[in-house]
Amino acid sequence: MLKVEVRLFAYFREGREKKQIMELEEGTTISDVIKILDIDEKEVSIALLNGMDGPFHRELKDGDIIALFPPVGGG
């Protein structure tokens, strides 16, 4: 098992904690976490893993921090 911190931003926080610790199986990816949180992957504009942007298929390690952002609107 591994523990990761997940930080949610903007409307992803609605009905969820803005910061949570999740215990996950080895081999879990960012995409898996998005599914567990019941967020549509198409709605995730940016997924940072330890501050670095990249693909959703990255595997997580114990102590990782994930930040999920929806598209930014306004103008």
39-65: per-residue pLDDT in tens? 999 999 999 999 999 999 999 999 999
Whichever domain contains 65, its CATH number is 3.10.20.30
Cα(first)–Cα(last) distance of the chain, in Å?
Answer: 43
Give the pLDDT band (50/70/90) at residue 75.
Answer: low
pTM: 0.92
Residue 39 belongs to a domain: yes
16-30: per-residue pLDDT in tens? 999 999 999 999 999
| Spatial distance between the Cα atoms of 7 and 26, rounded to a whole number of angstroms | 20
Q: Percentage of the chain surpassing pLDDT 90?
A: 95
Q: Which of 43, 39, 45, 1 is nearest to 22 (CA)?
A: 1
The number of beta carbons lying within 10 Å of the beta carbon of residue 65 is 14
Give the pLDDT band (50/70/90) at residue 74.
Answer: low
Count how many domains the chain has. 1
Evaluate whether 5 touches 21 at the Cβ level (below 8 Å): yes
Q: Percentage of the chain surpassing pLDDT 70?
A: 96
Q: Which domain holds residue 51?
A: 2-69
Residue 74 belongs to a domain: no
